[in-house]
Structure 1
Amino acid sequence: MAGYRELLRTRGVARIIAAQLTARFPNGMTSLAILLHVEQQTGSYGAAGLVLAAASIGQATAGPVTSRWMGIWGMRRVLTITTAVCAAAIVVLALAPLNIVGYMIFGLIAGLSTPPVQSAVRTIYPKIVNSRQLTPLFSLDASLQEIIWILAPVVITLVATQVGTVPALLLIVVFLVGGGTWFILSPELGRVRIPRSRRGFGRVLGKPVVLLATVIGFLLIGGASAVEAAVVATFGHGGLEAGLVLAVFSVGSLIGGLAFGHIPMGPWAMARRLTAVAVGLVAASFFVSDITPATPWWVSACLLVAGAGVAPALAVMFAMTSASVKFSETAEAYGWIGTGQLIGAALGSAVAGFLIDGVGPAGAYAAAAAFAILGALVATAFVRGFPDLRGRDASPIPDTEPVPVIT
């Protein structure tokens, strides 16, 4: 913890972390609020699912594009425009009398205009700390983002059920505009400029490290989403048990990220951390099988173990990407990784839903375990593709260009 205290005392670090967490807080609120609002307005969960699908498709499509735009037009301009458009789309969703097609259109617009805060801040990090602090900073970032997934769903559910879905959506706009403004006005955004990439759009995916990070992020978040559906199916959505069990999963990730953030990252780091996730999820699937009755205590204990590997695995993902691409390509690389995670979340939820209907919650836990096991196997099979960051600077590769010489 002494190392984290030193890190947070570094000029600008605490401020930029707090600002970006506030700006990203709507990420943990929007899907649930839209689901509740559209279901209430239309009386159909199927219609709400279509609107969520449109928003997710928009977000997954836009991630790499808006991230790359920051190198062309600047971070502040792109973040300002996307924040304004996204906020306006959510206001329309909240206040306008729409049919299902209208909800889908504005859900798609909200997804397409989701501000690329995550890509921006992870591009800024290497420029505000020294090389020794960068890997712990990625670990701290991956850990603290769990605060979003612990608090945001609780806050938005309370507001939507106790006050109304319209105030819930407007609360998201307040966080989106307020947090986004705080982040956009941060001095670090003015001091860091992303160079324009000289390579074609999507070429960064040709780098093995970026492709590995995208695939593993897809599998890791796919497993996490399947777990969320499984827990709700096991304990029901009307009581406290499901929320508390999922909170334990996030707390495990927070603890794991803080506990292991100082450990140097070698080529086997990803495989070891994903193995911890897989072990916890396999154990959880056992405790909801026909062999043993499901209890919140045992499932929570299993998910605490699984969660302890999530943030450390994400930290490896961010650090290895940073160390393997040029600075001009980092934002786009993180955009592709985010897209992989969004697709994984959608697929994980869908697979879990079908299995819950077919064989019960045990099938969803098994699916989550399968995602994690496959991720660990990919990390093991392609271990040579992971950089060895032990004693190495995780900063991006500097952009260079020919210098004219007078002869």
Structure 2
Amino acid sequence: MSAYSSLLKTTGVARIILAQLVARFPFGMLSLAFLLHVEQVTGSYAAAGIVLAASSVGQALAGPLTSRWMGTWGMRPVLVLTVIVCGVTVTAVALIEMSVPWYMALSFLAGLSTPPVQPAVRTIYPKMVNSKQLTPLFSLDASAQEIIWVLGPVITTFISTQAGTEWGILTAVGILAVGGTWFIASPEVGRVRIPRSKRKIGQVLKRPPVLLATVVGFLLIGACSALEVGVVAVFGHDGLEAGIVLGILSLGSLTGGLALGHIAIGPWALARRMFIVFAGIALSTLFDGIVALSIVLFVAGIGIAPALTVLFAMVSSSVKFSDTAEAYGWMGTGQLIGAALGSAVAGILIDSNGAIGAFWAATALAFLGFMVPLLGKRWHPDLRGRDASPIPDTEPILIQTS
């Protein structure tokens, strides 16, 4: 834990972590809020899953595009534009009752305008700490973001059941406005400028570690998304049980991230962590009570944040600084396509097979998420004794002082 306390004493680190957590907090609420709202309006989990998938597809398309824009126009202009557009479209989903195609269209636009906070902050991190602190910082970030997934589902479920599903969405919009403004105003966002990449968009995916991280992220988040839909289907949207179980899953992730974050990243690291996720989710197919599900999903969660830490370090150590934002954008795209696939397939299987169908989908995706890094070990960088800093660009990087 001393590594984490040392990090938090570094100038600006605690502030930027907290600011980006608040800015991203709404996205720990919105997927469940959309699911609850659309299912209540339409009476169909399949329709709700498809609407949620449309949002994820929009986010997936936006990931590398808005990340490249930050290298062209600067972080702040892109963040301001996306916060405004996203806030307006999400508000429309909450307040206007419409048909499923219109819900899909607005959800897609909301996803397309998702503020690129994650690529921005992970591009800033290497400029804030020394090389030895970078991997622990990625671990702290991956662990801290689980606060979003611990509290987000519980808050969303409570507000949606007590005040109405539209208020669950509107609460997320309010937090987006506050958190987005705080993050945009952070000095580090104005101080670090991303160099314009000289490569064509998508070229960064030719680096095997980046492609491996993108594929595994797709499978990991797809499994978690299917699991989320399944938990909601088991407990319904009239009580707090679903939010509590999902919160415990994320609490397991937070625990795992803090406990395993200091371990050196070797070539088997990702496969080992993904096996923990797979084992816990596979066990969840055998239970449907709140206590038993909470226990096995806590186990599954132990592997999530550590796996994400490995993914961040793999990407950072494999690309030039000017390509980091786009690389993280593609990684986010992979995760969001996984979320779209996981939620859509889970919704369809629930309508045909009951809640267990979603757990089957989550188990299959988690198993593939274990097999891919196991078979792709040769593309996994060995970071034992190495730092995870990006490869330096050959030209000076402008650091703005005002």
Establish whether TM, by shorter chain, passes 0.5. Answer: yes
Higher RCO structure (Cα 8 Å, ≥6 apart): 2
Q: Deviation digits for residues 43-79 of structure 1, max 9, x if unmatched? A: 7666655543432221111111001111111111111
CA distance in 2, matches of 1:75, 1:305: 38
1:336-355 matched pairs, under 5 angstroms: 336-355=330-349
In the TM superposition, 1:89-238 aligns within 5 A as 89-95=89-95, 102-238=102-238
Per-residue deviation, 1:97: 6.7
Letter in 1 for 2:382: D
Q: Which has the larger radius of gyration?
A: 1
Q: Which residue of 1 aligns with 2:360?
A: 366
User: How big is the shift at 1:370?
Assistant: 2.2
Deviation at 1:16, TM superposition (A): 0.4
Identify the range of structure 1 (268-277 vs 33-42) with the bigger mean alpha-carbon deviation: 33-42
What fraction of aligned residue pairs are identical, expressed as a percent? 65
CA contact (8 A) 2:154 2:244 kept: no
CA distance in 1, matches of 2:274, 2:76: 35
Distance 2:40 2:361 in 1: 30
The residue number in structure 1 matching 2:243 is 243
Aligned to 2:303: 309
Letter in 2 for 1:344: G
Q: 1:20: which partner in 2?
A: 20
1:297 aligned partner, one-letter code: V
Report the Cα distance in structure 2 between the residues aligned to 1:46 and 1:233, rounded to whole angstroms.
11
Q: Aligned partners of 2:230 and 2:35: how far apart in 1?
A: 18
Give the secondary structure class of the aligned counterpart of 2:317: helix
Name 1:318's counterpart in structure 2.
Answer: 312
For the residues of structure 2 that align with 1:33 and 1:102, how far apart are their CA atoms?
A: 17
CA distance in 1: counterparts of 2:45 and 2:364, whole angstroms = 28
Q: Partners in 1 of 2:2 and 2:303 — Cα distance?
A: 22
Rounded to whole Å, the distance in 1 between the matches of 2:23 and 2:211 is: 27
Q: 1:39 to 1:356 in 2, by over 3 A?
A: closer
Change (3 A) 1:223 1:76: same
Equivalent AA in structure 2 for residue 75 of structure 1: M
Match of 2:326 among 314, 327, 332: 332
Q: Which residue of 2 aligns with 1:405?
A: none
- Shift of the alpha carbon at 1:112? 1.1
Alignment match of 1:398 (pick from 379, 392, 399): 392
Correspondence 1:287-298 to 2 at 5 A: 287-288=286-287, 294-298=288-292
List gaps (5 residues or longer) in structure 1: 289-293, 403-407
State the secondary structure of the residue aligned to 1:195.
coil
**Shift in CA distance, 205/253, structure 1 to aligned 2, threshold 3 Å:** same
Q: Which moved more, 1:206-215 or 1:372-381?
A: 372-381
Distance apart, 1:315 and its partner CA = 0.3
1:282 aligns with 282
With 296-305 and 229-238 compared, the bigger mean Cα shift is at 229-238
The separation in 1 between residues aligned to 2:18 and 2:193, in whole angstroms, is 21
Question: Corresponding residue for 1:72?
Answer: 72
Q: Cα offset for 1:399? A: 1.0
Give the AA of the match of 1:255. Answer: T
Counterpart AA for 2:107: G
Deviates more, 1:85-94 or 1:117-126: 85-94
**Superposed CA offset, 1:284-338 (max 9, x none):** 23x33xxxxx433333222222111110000000011000001111111111111
Structure 2, unpaired ranges of 5+: 397-402
Distance 2:45 2:293 in 1: 28
- Flag the 1:237–1:34 CA change in 2: closer, same or farther, 3 A: closer
Equivalent residue for 2:63? 63
Instruction: Establish whether residue 268 from structure 1 lines up as the match of residue 262 from structure 2.
Output: no
Q: State the TM-score, normalizing by the size of structure 2.
A: 0.91
Q: Cα distance, 1:186 vs. partner?
A: 0.6
Deviation by residue 1:107-161 (Cα, 9 ceiling, x = unmatched) = 2221111100011111111110111111011111111111111212222333333
- 1:372 shift after superposition: 1.8
| Amino acid in the other structure paired with 1:21 | L
Query: Equivalents in 2 of 1:386, 1:234: separation in Å?
Result: 37
SS in structure 2 opposite 1:324? coil
The 2-side partners of 1:362 and 1:37 are apart by 22
TM-score by length of 1: 0.90
